[in-house]
Structure 1
């Protein structure tokens, strides 16, 4: 899947991360928290914070111990809550860690780790744009992503 980006869904003002099938036309919108939206957006924009964020720390820990995040899989949606599996190669040993999708995607955005979703999740929660308007909708979404800033996801003090 491709991490298309992060946006704020209106009128709820709830951030979402939008994933798109690599070999298909379906999208998977996942509602996430503001902090996670900021973490994903900054990574996608290539912004390096002055101090490491939690997901930067996790990447550094993996690097320090010689482990590698190899795969993120969105495994389930139950009661409107998504679940994910983070696969780690720990010195040749495959380790699976249950994760919130937002955290796993934030790490994937920093490490280039591929993101997948099980077919059952896509069947249940994937959305498909109509053929005629798909390209226009994606273009509109990408334009909005170009204009959005990290500050759009920060709460007011």
Structure 2
């Protein structure tokens, strides 16, 4: 009986440790919150490929009323007229101390690509995503909330 309790306690401890480790990285599903309205904008899944983080839009919360699958008509290059749902908007992010930097983020609303920096907050439950031109002081930050 005592061995069973020890095994159960050890298993629970390992599961909690795995959950804590999963929260120490931005990999996962995030709900972006509009920095001007405070309302949810999209679900973005961040993945890791050899230390490089990428983020892809999985869902829009408020697509245009007449177009449930809007296209990025203001984008340039390969993203021009691509569907926003399924579009990779976050590229090239790598760990930089406690932050993630060195990549870019695309704003599908205006088609512009910005340098980007991300910082986990609130024990990995929130992600501050900053898009900027030149230096981080010249930009804006959105808060994303972890969904899974």
The TM-score, its normalising length taken from structure 1, stands at: 0.29
The TM-score, its normalising length taken from structure 2, stands at: 0.30
Q: Which has the higher strand share?
A: 2
Q: Quick one: higher RCO (CA 8 Å, sep 6+), 1 or 2?
A: 1
